């Protein structure tokens, strides 16, 4: 097959290399010329995806994979067009911002070949595939869906840092607008993916047709919204436990010993492209979902809560040297999308603390781009707040933080034994 992948980001590019690894001809389309140039040199434009560099080094010289910013050079003749362009959410209104996806759809439509399959993998509000993008393609291309081309929705279900493993691990959910679209989507994904055998699933791992685009759109939103709501519940429990001198981690351990209990882990922040965003996409369709809204708002208060607890322990933070450990939204991933570092630093600055940030994955120059002063382990500091659970922090000790008076472990990531003699605060450990 000839496959075009629109959006060569941290999900799109690994997908493209996966498709090429199965013997297909793939072209990536991206508006970032630097990304395009690096791909065409066989170099990875971003780190932290194990295996991708090896794929690029093999596939680009062999002519199996290339990149372009020109839709007219990628879309004509493509049997399948996969769209993996970000959908953002307005931070003030919580409304989805379709600007990038609309632009990509408008750009691909004039060049679409007859009988092509267009698959949207970006997580979308329910009804978007059928009611927004399909009519837009029809209007611009003059083609008719179900007759001249086909549209399906099949959301990515992977995490940065484990994309190739996740592609094998989880069923590929598909939903189309008609039976022929479903057939073509199934054939496509069965041709580009392989699946691990899993005995824990109700049916064989592989491509699962859920019957409609809307069903799959809701499935993707629901699986991530569940996590945000569950984390919100865990955070609520943790704050109650804190007040009542109860160890929430023992509570959770006890609860989760029963198979029907799956309480998640509390923490200083919920970040990334997915968990903070998808509940708001769900709310775009279901504004009366008060449970979803309450959990999202509550989780967003956690950085402020942690800083307030820090103030109650240490006193006035004005002029106090505070290091925030971890700019990334989660450990082991070089990505700051909606990271808790921003709200944590803001809350500290409001209290006139002398704030700096450390992250083993970022240089001082890169931290400066985000507006952060850089902290280096070994420099004097009075308070440290662990925001991201990087592996490098697992065995952290006071010796690496000279002068430390309070260590705030926002992820319960470090060993208490390492902190004997130094005040250590963990959310939910009264």
Catalytic residues: 220, 274
Rg (CA), the chain: 23
Distances (CA, A) of 198 to 12, 71, 117, 159: 26, 39, 29, 19
Rounded CA-CA distance 256/319 in Å is: 43
Q: State the CB neighbour count (10 A cutoff) for residue 4.
A: 28
Q: Report how far residue 386's alpha carbon sits from residue 325's, in angstroms, rounded to the nearest whole number.
A: 5
DSSP reduced 3-state for 303:
helix
Q: How far apart are CA 161 and CA 320, in angstroms?
A: 36
Q: Quick one: three-class SS letters along 112-144?
A: CCCCCEEEECCCCCCCHHHHHHHHHHHHHHCCC
Place of tokens 């496509």: 188
- Kindly state the DSSP code that residue 329 receives in the 8-state scheme: S
The per-type count for the chain, helices as H runs and strands as E runs, is: 15, 15
Tallying the residues shown for the chain, one arrives at 430
Q: Is 378 in contact with 358 (CB distance < 8 Å)?
A: no
Q: Which two tokens stand for residue 326?
A: 């971890």
Nearest CA to 141 among 76, 60, 191? 76
Q: Which residues contact 299 (CB under 8 A, 6 or more apart)?
A: 228, 231, 232, 235, 269, 270, 276
Report d(CA 226, CA 232) in Å as an integer: 10
């Amino acid at each position: 097959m000839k496959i075009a992948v629109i959006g060569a980001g941290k999900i799109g590019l690994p997908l493209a290399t996966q498709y090429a690894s199965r013997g297909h001809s793939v072209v990536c389309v991206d508006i970032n010329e630097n990304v395009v140039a690096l791909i065409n040199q066989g170099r990875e434009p971003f780190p932290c995806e194990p295996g991708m560099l090896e794929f690029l080094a093999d596939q680009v010289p062999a002519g199996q994979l290339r990149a372009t910013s020109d839709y007219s050079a990628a879309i004509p003749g493509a049997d399948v067009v996969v769209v993996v362009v970000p959908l953002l959410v307005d931070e003030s209104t919580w409304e989805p911002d379709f600007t990038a996806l609309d632009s990509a759809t408008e750009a691909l439509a004039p060049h679409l070949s007859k009988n092509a399959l267009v698959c949207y993998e970006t997580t979308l509000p329910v009804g978007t595939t059928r009611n927004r993008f399909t009519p837009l393609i029809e209007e611009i291309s003059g083609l008719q869906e179900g007759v001249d081309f086909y549209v399906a929705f099949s959301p990515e279900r992977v995490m940065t840092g484990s994309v190739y493993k996740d592609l094998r691990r989880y069923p590929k959910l598909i939903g189309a607008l008609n039976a022929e679209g479903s057939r073509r989507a199934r054939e496509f994904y069965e041709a580009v993916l392989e699946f691990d055998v899993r005995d824990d699933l109700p049916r064989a791992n592989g491509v699962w047709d859920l019957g409609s685009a809307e069903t799959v759109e809701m499935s993707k939103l629901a699986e991530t919204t569940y996590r945000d709501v569950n984390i919100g519940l865990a955070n609520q429990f943790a704050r109650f436990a804190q007040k009542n001198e109860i160890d929430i981690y023992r509570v959770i351990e006890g609860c989760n010993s029963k198979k029907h209990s799956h309480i998640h882990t509390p923490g200083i922040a919920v970040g990334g492209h997915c968990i903070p965003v998808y509940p708001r996409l769900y709310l775009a369709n279901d504004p009366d979902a008060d449970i979803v809204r309450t959990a999202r708002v509550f989780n967003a208060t956690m950085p402020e809560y942690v800083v307030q607890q820090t103030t109650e322990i240490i006193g006035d933070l004005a002029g106090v040297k505070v290091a925030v450990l971890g700019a990334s939204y989660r450990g082991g991933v070089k990505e700051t999308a909606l990271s808790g570092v921003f709200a944590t630093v803001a809350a500290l600055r409001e209290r006139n603390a002398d704030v700096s940030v450390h992250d083993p994955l970022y240089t001082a120059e890169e931290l400066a781009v985000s507006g952060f002063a850089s902290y280096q382990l070994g420099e004097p500091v009075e308070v440290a707040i662990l925001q991201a659970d990087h592996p490098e922090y697992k065995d952290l000790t006071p010796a690496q933080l000279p002068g430390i008076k309070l260590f705030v472990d926002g992820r319960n990531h470090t060993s208490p034994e390492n902190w004997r003699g130094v005040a250590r605060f963990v959310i939910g450990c009264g």
